[in-house]
Each structure stands twice: as C-alpha cells, then as structure tokens.
C-alpha cells in the first residue's frame, strides 16, 4: 500500500497547494478594499457565529428550504470530521479516530457519519426538486448560475454516495470492518453481499479514491463557484455588521476633512474588505431580492445583484482590469436610487451580508463626488440648506401647530432656569404636514394630560439632516446634524421623545458618531410605558370596535426591533380592538416606500410600493390601518385614497388621544 | 469663451421678514442669505456654454460687503474659475451705481459674453444688467429664456407677456437670464473643496454718486385670513367681486 | 412746476393699457406738485390714433416718433430717442415696467446718467427728491425709495395705476428717431405665442390647477375652460393627476414638479397635501374649490368655495368671462 499512500500524499499536497494559491489570490483581492476594524466585541461576534451560522437561525426563516439547507450544512460540519479522518488515513493508513476516541463516543461518531450522509442525500434530492421542478422565483434572475448550483449539488451527492459505497464495499470485502453504528453502510453492504471479496475490495478502493478526489476537487472548485460561501460564510458572520444596541443599523461615519478626500465608492477598492468578503459569501439564494420592496414592485434594484456584481467586478479588478468600474459598468444609478433602505435584504441574508452598505457608499459617491442624483431631490437639498427642512416651508411656521395649546418652549424654560424632563422633538413632517400635525397635537395632548414636564424647540428646531444622509449627501447631513447637536447640548438636553422613527433612529443611533449622546425614545415606546404604569387617564367607555392592521415602520422595526410597543399601546388604549396581522409583518413587513429618501423622489417604474402594501393591509379585512411614522402615514393615506378605500389611516397617538378621559 | 457672470447675494425667498430698528432696512436676524435665484441661473448658463464650447473661462463678480464672498465661493463651487468682489460697506439700492461699478471692472476684461440674472429677489428692479450694457455700449438681450451661442453670434428667446421674441445678436453682448432656461447644478463636495482654493480678488467698488436710497421699509398690510366665502355655485358672484375689488387680480 | 416725459408703450401701432396707466400717473404727479406738463412719447409706425387716447388721459403734448421700423420693438433706437428728448426740461421720465419697458428704462437712465427706481406703485415729489414705493422681496416688504438729482427715471408697476381720464390738449408734435430703428444690433426674427399657444407656468399671472377631485382626465376640460376664460392663464395639475397620466408631467405643480408664484392660483378639486403646497404657496391670491370643507387647501386659500366643482367651475368660468369682457 505504500505506493498508494505516496501517490495520495502527492495528490493531497497538490490539491492543498492549489487551494492555498487560490486562497492567497482571493485574500489579496479582498485586501484591495479599505481597512475596517472588526475585531471589537469578539464574544458577541462569536455568539453570532453560533446563532446565525451554526444554528442556522436566518436560514430557517424559510422553514422547508431552511431545513433542507440546515441538513446539508450540519451534515457538512459533522462529516468534516470524517473527511479529516479519511484524508489522514490516505497518507497514514492505520489512522482512525478509533485510536483515541473514548469508547462511548466512537459509535456515536460513526453513526453520525452514516446518518448524516443519508440525510444529506435526502436533502440534495429535495434541492434538485426545488431547482428543477418547483422552481421558486427567487432562484432565477440576476444572471444566477443554475449550472453551478446543479453541479455542486451533484458533487455533494457524489460525496455522500461514494462515502457510503466505500464503507459498504469495505464491509463486503472484509466483513466486520464496520461496527453496528454504521447502520446505513451496513444495510448497503447487505445488498451487495453477493460480490466476491476481491472485487469488493477494488470497488472499495475506487470509491475511496473517488471520494477523496471529490473532496479535494470540491475544495478547489470553491474559489470558482458561488459555493465559496462554504469557506467564507462563518467568517462573514463573525465580521458582520451586527446590530449592537445603540449602534443599530447605522450608516458608516465619514471624515470629510481627511486629506485623501475620497467620497463614497465608485469601484471595489473604495469598498471595505468586509464588503468584498460579502461578495465572496453570497450564494445567490435571492432571499434578499425576494424581500426587496423595490424589486417586488418592478424596479431595477436587486440586492442580490448588487453583491454578485461586487464579486464579479472584484474578480475582474483583481486580475488587473482598471478600465471598468462597479458604478455604471455593473450597477446603474437607477438601481441605487430605487432603494428605500428598509433593510429587508439585510434581515433576510443567511450569511449576514450587508447589501445596504454598498448602496449607501455608492450613493455617497454619486452625490458628493459627481453631483449625480435624480433631479427632483435637488429642491430637497436646497431647501434643507436654506430652510432647515426638506420642504420649502418657512422656519417661522414650524411651531404653528402649537398655537393656543400652551406648549412650553425650551428657550423659555431655560430663561427661567428650568429644565423639562423630556424634549419633544417634533420633526419636519410633524411640524409642517397637515396630516402629521394631527399626530403631533395628539401626542402633545397625551403628554399634557399625563402631566409630563416637556418642552419643544419650536423655531430652533430644524432638520437633523437624516434625509440628506440617506440620500448620500454626507456633507449637508453633517452641517445640519452638528448644528442640531450644538443646540441640544447648549440646552443640556438629555432625553428626547419623538413621533418620527427617522428622527428617532438618527438622533438615538447615529448622533453618537458626531458627539451627540442622548436617550431617544420613540413615542410608541413612551406611550406604552405610560399606559403600563397606568399614568394615562383613559375613558371608561368601551370605545369603537376597530379592526386594526398595524403597519410596521422599517426604522422602528427592522432598524430598532420595536414591534411590540405600538401593538401593546393599541391594545391597552382600546381593549376592544381586534389586531390583525398582514401576511408580511414584523421583521418581514413590507416597507411603505418612503424611506431612503424616496419620499422626495418620483416613482416612475412598476407598481407603487405603497399600493402594494395597502393592498396587503386591506386584505386582512381591517377597517383601520395604524402607523407610528409620519412617512408611513402619508404613504398609507395616499395609497388608501388611490383605491377609494373606506379604511382610515391613523397614528397610534391619535388612537390613544381619542381615548383620553 | 471668456464669460463673466454678475451675481447678487439676497435673502432666501421663503423668509418671513421683519423691519429692523431703524425702519429703513429688514431685520437680518435669522435670515438666510444665498445667491439670488436668477443669478444662479445665469451662472449655470455661463458654465454650460463654456462646457459646450470647449475651454474657456468663467468669471463671477459681485458688488457688496465681504459677506458676498460666500456667494462668490458658491459660484466657484459650481465651476466658475475665479471671482472678483467689488467691495462696498453695504449693499447699495442704487442699481445705476452698481452698474457703474461693474462696468468699470468689466470694461477691460475682454469678455465675449456677460450674464446677469433678469432681476434680483429683493429689489426686483432688473436694472443692473441692462445698464451695464448701455454703459459699455454692448448689445443687450433681457429676460432670455433660451440662449444659444455659436460662431461669435447669439440667438435667444426673450420673454414677453405670454409670448416670446426670437432675436439674434452679435458678440460681445450682455444677456439677462430668465427662469426656465437651466437648472442650476448642485455643487458636489469635490467642487466645494476646490472652490476654497480658487482665486477671489477684492477691489473697492467705483460706485460714483449714489443717488437712490431706501429711506423706509414697511410690511404690507396683513393679508386677511383666508375664508370660505360660500357653498356651491351660488358663491361665485361674490368670489368674482372679491377677485376684482379686493385682490385686484381680475 | 415739474414736467414729466412719459413713454407711451405701443404694440405695433396700438397703444397698450400700461401707456394709459403711465400717462395717468404722470398727470397725478405733476398735479400733486402744483402743475406742470405731461408729454407722452410714442414710438410707432404711426402715432395718430394713439394721440387722442393719450390726450384724454392727461397728456398735454404727444411726441410722435413715427417710423416703420417701430413695428417691432427697436430697443436701441427707442432708448436713444427717448433719452435724447428727455434731456430738455423734465423732472422725471415715466416708463411702464412691462417686459419691453424693463428693457428700455436702464438704457435711458444710463444715457441720461440719471438714477432709476423700478417697479413702483406710487411716485411723488418730496422736497428735492422723488419718492416712490416698491413692493420688494416678492411683495413681502414695501420699500420706499428716495431718488436725488434733477432728472429721475421711474418705471411703473403695471396695474398699480388705474387709467383715469383728465382731458388735456394732447397736441401732436411729430419728429424723427435719433437712431435708425432698422440698424438694431438685436435683430428680431419673430414672435412666438407661447410654446403650443400655452403660457408657461412660470410666467403665467393666473394658474388654474386641477387635482383628483376632478375624477377623470376628461373632466379637466372644466379647468381648461376656466383658464381660457381668464385669458392669460396656464393649466396646472397635482402629482396624483400627472402620475395617472391625465396631464403631462410638465404640468405638475409641487415639491417634485414646478414651483410657481402667480398673481392668482385657482385650485380645483385639490386637497392640499404638503407636496403640492410646496409648489404654490407663494401665489399672491389663492382660491380653492373643494367639496371637503376640512381639506388642508382651505387653510392656505384666501377665498374658498365648498361644493361640487362640476357646478362651481362652469359658473365661475361664465362669470370670469363676463367680468373680463367689461374690462
């Protein structure tokens, strides 16, 4: 046997060497990207690997396909041990785990190998069924490589089959070689028992070699296939943008004063190495695209395509092509502007890819470097500069909603040497939009009725720049945000409550980047707290028996995990309410279409996103749509009106205010 | 081509104005100032012409105190090559005096085209551009809503009330720019950074005798609160009466 | 006893309304200053017909500069001629602040080396100065100007001075232009009436706009008819309506469409969402017609009528047509 072992060693070393060469090549390409420190919070990151990676929590969001994949994945993890054993034994034939595994564990180990080989074959069979017969929509489009997938599935099946056959033939050639724990292999052996021992031995060696070559071939195929995710995904999850409390889903900070002024990304080397690792880790599953509100309604954006393009361009760039670039040659402006920043794609991705990060960096390039953006956004930018609001309303109209309501101004309190307990940040929509003003007034009434010591900034309030930031105009954003922080700090503000999730997210999670640290609470959380503490005097009358579909705001829900507070608020304020959930709800909720600065843009392609969402909400049979965001309010309101629907759209604050004693 | 564009710094048109303590000027507290809208159209037109015609120079000028430098920098962040500030202590209300100062500076400049906004938001007078042309004895087209320059000649559409006059003229010339001709570009951050390094020259303005002053300013009588004047077609006669006598728009 | 030289603007040979306004203003000015003469200068292919009307409105003397070349706007020759006449014995030169008047006034002032105050709604002598009021900052602040010097050029806001009869001699003196109207450096190639006969939204003094309340594209005829009744009106639309294809996108008024500032904005069947208001809030007078009394548009409208647009608008169209006929 010595010759065979030497040959195998040669094969092993060649395969390993080739693989190492590719690893080095791909890592080299990846390091073309910008630096990014991702070694913070190693324990939390490791926990994510266990949760998202090993326990496959995100994959299992789709139960059936998820179980199929989890089986293959767990199978791989378990069978890796066996693979190691086989490869070592290829060089040192007497090697086996039996040499050092303690007695009770050995049969468990052996059973696990056999069992998972069978499970994986079953899963592969189902996978072929899905790809070739069931053909779910998300597995098509964006130039995805079916051939690649089918080939890999075949390889995996081959691996499992050769493994079992190799063991079975061994048992036939040398009965007693396998312990009872090898249940499946022994069953196959029984079926092949008629074979002569020599033939069986040869068959065994052949299967063994096939298996080993398949393993090494598979390994070396990875760098050329979308199945590279097999090698990179656990790392990808470890280094992912995870949502730490207080940093939830924030956009990347930017230093605009830096000498090497690069503003945003137009090509792969402007992205970070992590974005590029994302490219390697994408399996083209399409769950992101299937969840994307823009894609669902016919816009050119596909989050999968963004990442697949990143990888394709990186390969091109890595081999020296500087004639093209990611922007324009691969990803078009239309795709980038179609995004509503709802984070459905990021939420769905089983390997924790951040598609939104790439979109944001490219938007920054378009705006800051090239001033290329949809014409209709320019008035919003100009108005933000001039009026401190994305709409052309006069600053002096800002606190008009409060006329006659006895709402204290922060400046007045400060002049008397007093401080409120909380600052009510009204926001631009709440100040100027007629419908949103009703929410503002409702919430102010609730605060007053509960005796909360609050104040507003009044005319000193201006936009914190979030719309500009979402649209890529980091410069304008920083000017507005810094000024807001100055004002807030000047008054020593510590706690802020706001009825707009965009304001909530911006001031609570992104202001720390610029030195603004405040406790920011969304009004749904605030009201729920008050209700729970029985501080809200509610009417004893039963109230209207409404059937309410609550529409989750993306910036409250997916960005900040606030799903329950608005629902609880409705239930506590109106006990007779019937809450119904639309098909896509909570962290799967469909965006209203206004986020990512799209509120300021025209929707010219496909179906209107708000129409799609209103349809879904009304299909629940609800007579009322409840929202907790002024942008969602406008979108739902317009959507309902367009269908001449009789359903009313209300903010949860209005519901509560309507129930005040 | 060598193009000069004269710009003015005016308060933001959305502002609510109050009268200052002297009663002869607006109270500037809290008022945002920026390049006048029509001036920004003129800058855009100048930049587009030079982009289309090949290499050239776009120079921006402004008359006023040092605060106008911000406006000149904005024009340079849009793409103008250099700027000249003709310094005065305060922004003069005498359009003819401003025109004299600009004409003195522009005279020896060898410009093929001098652009102005058709008027400015604050004074709405439309004096300066045409007066500069008259002083320099250059052909002048006012209120151009379309402008083409080719081969040393220009053609434009000049806005009349509800109609347009199509004209042709030789260069060098002065054109005052109306709205609808071009959307002023939004300066990229790159442009803003570059503008900080472009040359901005300051000279004293040769206004000559200033003969027009704003001696008083007042807010117009309060616009009466809107009201619903009636229901259905029966309210129409009352509406027409109000439009004729009160609003004077009919 | 000051004398005023008035530029009586014509379109071709026909006197424009602003010319009568200017003569009336001149008459009032000299009368208030204790007497003086108003001389009206006409630059037209023929000045005969104009003289009678000018005399009726207060012109003591009509200076008729007749030349075939004045059939079109000959700005350089007109300015030169007007300036040349103005050098002798006038206190002020009044020019309408019309499109052509705006073109002329600074030229004249430059030639005369005189100060110029523009777009005024009142003008009077005050001691040695001439004071005039101008609604500046887009009509938000009334500026009172004082102009010094023996001769001042003043341009008058159209419609600010109502023509009034004050019959004077109106004796005609003919003379030739000092420059050849045919030798203009600005050559007029033609006059275009709007883009497709339509007035541009940005220029229209009156805009009639329709929204969802009109229910269908066909019903926009109501809006078009009302606009036609106004004569100088353009038709606008809300985003909802342009998105549905009832009107072209170019007609959209609002945040993402056109921002307009007409003298009169009539909103028919428009609720007044924030995005639309952002496009028309600065209109001088806003009229709203909507069946929902709670519609936000009523908060910004000066005059509102609650009710069915399909009844109200035709009635309004007829009434406007009548009112304009009598003008």
- Rounded-to-integer distance, Cα A432 and Cα C274, Å: 7
- Residue (of C256, B195, B44, B188) closest to A472 by Cα position: B188
CB contact under 8 A, A256 and B189: yes
Q: Is residue A424 a contact partner of residue A455, using CB atoms and an 8 Å limit?
A: yes
CA A462 to chain centre: 31
Percent of chain C past pLDDT 90, that is, above it, reads 63
pLDDT of A530 > 70? The answer is: yes
CB contact under 8 A, C134 and B244: no
Q: Which of A263, A382, A396 sits opposite B189 (nearest CB)?
A: A263
Q: Which of A368, A385, A387 sits opposite B189 (nearest CB)?
A: A368
The model's pLDDT over B95-116, given as tens digits with 9 standing for 90+, comes to: 999 999 999 999 999 999 999 9
- Residue A593 tokens read as 């279409």
- Residue C302 tokens read as 């000066």
Is residue B50 reached through a cis peptide bond, with omega within 30 degrees of 0 on the bond before it?
no
Average pLDDT over residues A442-450: 97
Q: For strands C187-192 and B163-170, give the pairing.
A: antiparallel
Q: Which of A376, A434, A601 sits opposite C296 (nearest CB)?
A: A434
pLDDT at residue C231, as a whole number = 83
Average pLDDT over residues A630-638: 95
- The architecture in CATH of the region A547-658 reads 3-Layer(aba) Sandwich (3.40)
- Rounded-to-integer distance, Cα C280 and Cα C207, Å: 10
The ranges of chain A annotated as CATH 1.10.1060.10 are 268-372
Using 50, 70 and 90 to split pLDDT, how confident is the model at A639? very high
- The architecture in CATH of the region C4-183 reads 3-Layer(aba) Sandwich (3.40)
Domain boundaries, chain C: 4-183, 206-325
Average the pLDDT over each of A112-121, A444-453, C39-48 and give the range with the smallest value. C39-48
- Residue (of A642, A652, A588) closest to A618 by Cα position: A642
- Rounded-to-integer distance, Cα A230 and Cα A73, Å: 9
Q: Which helix (H) or strand (E) is C258 found in, with range?
A: none
Q: Is residue C43 a contact partner of residue C72, using CB atoms and an 8 Å limit?
A: no
Report in angstroms the alpha-carbon separations of C286 from A334, B15, C206, C263, C267. Answer: 37, 19, 10, 8, 8
Q: Which of B12, B32, B187 sits opposite A371 (nearest CB)?
A: B187
Q: Regarding the domain delimited by A268-372, which CATH topology (the fold level of the hierarchy) does it fall under?
A: Fumarate Reductase Iron-sulfur Protein; Chain B, domain 2 (1.10.1060)
- Residue C198 tokens read as 């339509």
Q: State the pTM of this model.
A: 0.85
What letter does residue C242 receive in the DSSP assignment?
Answer: H
Average pLDDT over residues A468-478: 97
Q: Is residue B237 a contact partner of residue C303, using CB atoms and an 8 Å limit?
A: no
CB contact under 8 A, B15 and A394: yes
Tokens 């607006």 correspond to B26
What letter does residue B172 receive in the DSSP assignment?
Answer: S
pLDDT of A363 > 90? The answer is: yes
Tokens 């005829």 correspond to C221
Using 50, 70 and 90 to split pLDDT, how confident is the model at C254? confident
Burial of A43 per CB tally in 10 Å (0-12, 13-18, 19+): exposed
The answer to whether A643 contacts chain C (CB < 8 Å) is no
CB contact under 8 A, C273 and A434: yes
List Cβ neighbours of A100 (8 Å cut-off, separation of 6 or more).
none
Percent of chain A past pLDDT 70, that is, above it, reads 99
CB contact under 8 A, B16 and A369: no
Between A145 and A163, where is the model more confident?
A163
Same CATH fold, C206-325 and C4-183?
A: yes
Domains observed in chain B: 2-204 (3.40.50.620)
- Could you tell me which chain B residue has the CA closest to the CA of A371? B188
Q: Is residue A649 a contact partner of residue A633, using CB atoms and an 8 Å limit?
A: yes
Average pLDDT over residues A504-511: 96
CB contact under 8 A, A434 and C275: no
Q: Which of B11, B145, B249 sits opposite C263 (nearest CB)?
A: B249
- CATH no. for C206-325: 3.40.50.1220
The model's pLDDT over C115-165, given as tens digits with 9 standing for 90+, comes to: 999 999 999 999 999 999 998 998 789 999 999 999 999 999 887 888 889
- Rounded-to-integer distance, Cα A414 and Cα A408, Å: 10
Using 50, 70 and 90 to split pLDDT, how confident is the model at C326? low
Q: Point out which residues pair with C133 in neighbouring strands.
A: C122, C144
Q: Is residue A638 a contact partner of residue A599, using CB atoms and an 8 Å limit?
A: no
- Rounded-to-integer distance, Cα A138 and Cα A287, Å: 7
CA A660 to chain centre: 39
pLDDT at residue A123, as a whole number = 97
Helices B236-245 and C309-325 cross at an angle (nearest 10°) of 40
Q: For strands B212-218 and C233-237, give the pairing.
A: unpaired
Average pLDDT over residues C52-74: 92
Q: Which residues of B touch A370 (CB under 8 A)?
A: 188, 190
pLDDT at residue B85, as a whole number = 98
pLDDT of A437 > 70? The answer is: yes
- Rounded-to-integer distance, Cα A443 and Cα C259, Å: 33
- Residue A250 tokens read as 């924030």
- Residue (of C174, C142, C146, C173) closest to C157 by Cα position: C142
- Quote the minimal CA–CA distance from C64 to chain B in Å: 24
Q: Is residue B201 a contact partner of residue B82, using CB atoms and an 8 Å limit?
A: yes
- Rounded-to-integer distance, Cα B165 and Cα A495, Å: 61
The ranges of chain A annotated as CATH 3.40.50 are 377-532, 547-658
Under CATH, to which class is A377-532 assigned?
alpha beta
Helix boundaries (H) for A96-196: 105-129, 146-173, 183-191
Q: Is residue B143 a contact partner of residue C99, using CB atoms and an 8 Å limit?
A: yes
- Could you tell me which chain A residue has the CA closest to the CA of C297? A434
- Rounded-to-integer distance, Cα A342 and Cα A614, Å: 17
Q: Is residue C28 a contact partner of residue C61, using CB atoms and an 8 Å limit?
A: no
Q: For strands B140-150 and B153-160, give the pairing.
A: antiparallel
Using 50, 70 and 90 to split pLDDT, how confident is the model at C195? very low
Query: Rg of the Cα trace of chain B?
Result: 21
pLDDT at residue C196, as a whole number = 47
The model's pLDDT over A319-358, given as tens digits with 9 standing for 90+, comes to: 988 899 999 999 999 999 999 999 999 999 999 999 999 9
Tokens 């069986």 correspond to A200
- Rounded-to-integer distance, Cα A594 and Cα C14, Å: 56
CA angle A617/A619/A624 to nearest 5° reads: 50
CB contact under 8 A, C284 and B212: no
């Amino acid at each position: 046997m010595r010759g065979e072992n030497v040959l195998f060693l040669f094969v092993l070393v060649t395969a390993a060497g080739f693989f190492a060469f590719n690893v080095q090549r791909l890592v080299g390409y990846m390091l073309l990207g910008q630096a990014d420190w991702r070694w913070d919070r190693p324990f939390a990151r490791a926990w994510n690997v266990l949760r998202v990676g090993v326990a496959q929590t995100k994959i299992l969001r789709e139960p059936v396909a998820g179980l199929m994949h989890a089986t293959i994945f767990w199978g791989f993890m378990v069978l890796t041990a066996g693979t190691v054993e086989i490869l070592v034994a290829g060089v040192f034939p007497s090697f086996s785990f039996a040499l050092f595994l303690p007695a009770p564990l050995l049969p468990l180990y052996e059973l696990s190998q056999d069992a998972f080989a069978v499970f994986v074959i079953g899963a592969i069979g189902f996978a072929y069924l899905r790809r070739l017969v069931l053909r779910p929509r998300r597995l098509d489009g964006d130039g995805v490589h079916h051939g690649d997938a089918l080939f890999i599935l075949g390889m995996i099946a081959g691996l499992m089959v050769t493994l079992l056959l190799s063991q079975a033939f061994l048992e036939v050639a040398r009965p007693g070689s396998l312990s009872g724990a090898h249940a499946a292999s022994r069953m196959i052996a029984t079926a092949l028992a008629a074979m002569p021992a020599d033939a069986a031995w040869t068959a065994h060696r052949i299967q063994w070699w096939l298996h080993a070559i398949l393993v090494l071939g598979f390994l070396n195929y990875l760098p050329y296939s979308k199945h590279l995710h097999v090698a990179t995904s656990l790392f990808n999850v470890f280094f992912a943008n995870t949502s730490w409390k207080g940093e939830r889903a924030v956009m990347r900070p930017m230093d605009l004063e830096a000498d090497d002024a690069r503003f945003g990304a137009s090509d792969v080397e402007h992205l970070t190495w992590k974005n590029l690792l994302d490219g390697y880790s994408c399996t083209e599953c399409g769950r992101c695209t299937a969840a994307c509100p823009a894609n669902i309604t016919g816009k050119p954006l596909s989050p999968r395509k963004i990442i697949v393009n990143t990888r394709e361009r990186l390969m091109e760039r890595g081999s020296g092509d500087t004639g093209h670039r990611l922007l324009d040659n691969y990803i078009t402006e239309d795709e980038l502007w179609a995004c509503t920043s709802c984070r459905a794609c990021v939420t769905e991705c089983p390997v924790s890819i951040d598609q939104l990060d790439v979109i944001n960096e490219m938007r920054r390039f378009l705006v800051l470097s090239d001033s290329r953006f949809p014409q209709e956004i320019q008035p919003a930018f100009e108005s933000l500069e001039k009026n401190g609001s994305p709409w052309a309303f006069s600053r002096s109209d800002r606190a008009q909603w409060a006329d006659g309501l006895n709402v204290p101004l922060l400046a007045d309190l400060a002049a008397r040497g007093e401080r409120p307990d909380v600052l009510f940040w009204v926001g631009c929509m709440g100040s100027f939009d007629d419908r949103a003003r009703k929410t503002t007034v409702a919430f102010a009434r609730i605060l007053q009725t509960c005796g909360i010591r609050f104040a507003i900034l009044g005319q000193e309030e201006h936009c914190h720049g979030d719309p500009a930031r979402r649209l890529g105009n980091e410069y304008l954003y920083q000017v507005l945000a810094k000024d807001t922080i100055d004002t807030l700090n000047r008054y020593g503000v510590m706690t802020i409550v706001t009825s707009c999730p965009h304001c909530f997210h911006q001031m609570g999670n992104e202001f720390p980047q610029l030195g603004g640290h405040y406790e920011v609470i969304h009004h749904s959380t605030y009201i729920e707290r008050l209700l729970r503490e029985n501080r809200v005097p509610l009417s004893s009358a039963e109230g209207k028996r409404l059937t309410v579909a609550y529409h989750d705001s993306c910036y409250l829900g997916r960005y900040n995990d606030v799903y329950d507070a608005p629902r609880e608020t409705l239930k506590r304020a109106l006990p007779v309410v019937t809450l119904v959930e639309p098909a896509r709800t909570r962290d799967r909720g469909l965006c209203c279409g206004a986020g990512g600065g799209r509120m300021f843009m025209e929707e010219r392609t496909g179906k209107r996103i708000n129409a799609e969402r209103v349809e879904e909400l009304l299909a629940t049979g609800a007579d009322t749509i409840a929202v907790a965001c002024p942008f969602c309010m406008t979108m739902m309101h317009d959507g309902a009106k367009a269908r001449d629907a009789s359903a009313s759209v209300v903010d949860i604050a209005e519901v509560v205010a309507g129930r005040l004693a | 081509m060598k193009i000069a564009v004269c710009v003015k710094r005016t308060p933001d048109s959305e502002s609510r104005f109050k009268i200052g303590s002297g009663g002869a000027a607006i109270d500037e507290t809290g008022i945002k100032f920026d390049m006048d809208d029509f001036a920004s159209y003129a800058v855009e037109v100048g930049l587009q012409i030079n982009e289309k015609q090949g290499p050239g120079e776009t120079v921006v000028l402004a008359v006023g105190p040092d605060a106008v430098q911000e406006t000149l920098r904005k024009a340079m962040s849009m793409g103008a090559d250099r700027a000249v500030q003709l310094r005065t202590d305060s922004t003069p209300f005498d359009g003819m005096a401003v025109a004299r100062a600009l004409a003195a500076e522009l005279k020896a400049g060898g410009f093929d085209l001098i652009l102005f906004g058709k008027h400015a938001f604050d004074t709405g007078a439309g004096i300066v551009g045409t007066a500069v042309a008259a002083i320099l004895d250059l052909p002048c087209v006012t209120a151009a809503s379309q402008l083409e320059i080719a081969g040393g000649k220009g053609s434009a559409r000049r806005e009349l009330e509800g109609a347009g006059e199509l004209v042709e003229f030789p260069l060098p010339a002065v054109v005052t720019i109306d709205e609808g001709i071009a959307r002023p570009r939004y300066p990229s951050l790159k442009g803003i950074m570059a503008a900080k390094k472009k040359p901005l020259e300051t000279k004293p303005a040769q206004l000559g005798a200033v003969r027009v002053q704003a001696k008083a300013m007042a807010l117009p009588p309060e616009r009466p609160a809107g009201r619903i004047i009636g229901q259905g077609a029966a309210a129409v006669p009352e509406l027409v009466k109000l439009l004729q006598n009160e609003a004077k728009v009919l | 006893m000051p004398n005023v030289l008035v530029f009586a603007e014509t379109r071709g040979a026909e006197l424009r309304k602003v010319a009568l306004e200017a003569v009336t203003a001149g008459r009032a000015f000299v009368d208030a200053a204790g007497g003086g003469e108003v001389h009206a200068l006409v630059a037209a292919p023929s000045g005969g017909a104009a003289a009678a009307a000018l005399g009726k409105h207060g012109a003591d003397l009509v200076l008729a500069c007749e030349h075939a070349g004045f059939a079109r706007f000959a700005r350089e020759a007109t300015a030169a001629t007007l300036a040349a006449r103005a050098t002798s014995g006038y206190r002020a030169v009044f020019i309408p602040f019309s499109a052509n008047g705006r073109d002329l006034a600074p030229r004249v002032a430059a030639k005369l080396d005189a100060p110029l105050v523009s777009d005024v709604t009142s003008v009077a002598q005050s001691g040695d100065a001439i004071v005039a009021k101008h609604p500046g900052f887009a009509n938000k602040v009334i500026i009172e100007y004082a102009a010094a010097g023996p001769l001042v050029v003043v341009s008058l806001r159209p419609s600010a001075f109502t023509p009034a009869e004050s019959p004077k001699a109106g004796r005609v003196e003919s003379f030739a232009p000092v420059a050849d109207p045919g030798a203009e450096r600005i050559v007029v190639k033609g006059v275009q009436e709007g883009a497709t006969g339509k007035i541009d939204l940005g220029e229209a003094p009156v805009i009639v706009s329709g929204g969802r309340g009109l229910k269908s594209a066909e019903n926009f005829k109501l809006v078009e008819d009302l606009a036609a009744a106004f004569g100088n009106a353009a038709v606008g639309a809300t985003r909802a309506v342009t998105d549905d294809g009832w009107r072209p996108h170019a007609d959209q008024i609002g945040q993402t469409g056109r921002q307009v500032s007409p003298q009169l904005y009539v909103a028919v069947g428009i609720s007044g969402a924030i995005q639309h208001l952002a496009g028309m809030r600065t209109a001088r007078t806003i009229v709203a017609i909507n069946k929902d009394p709670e519609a936000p548009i009523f908060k910004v409208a000066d005059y509102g009528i609650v009710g069915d647009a399909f009844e109200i608008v035709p009635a309004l169209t007829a009434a406007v047509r009548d009112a304009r006929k009598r003008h």
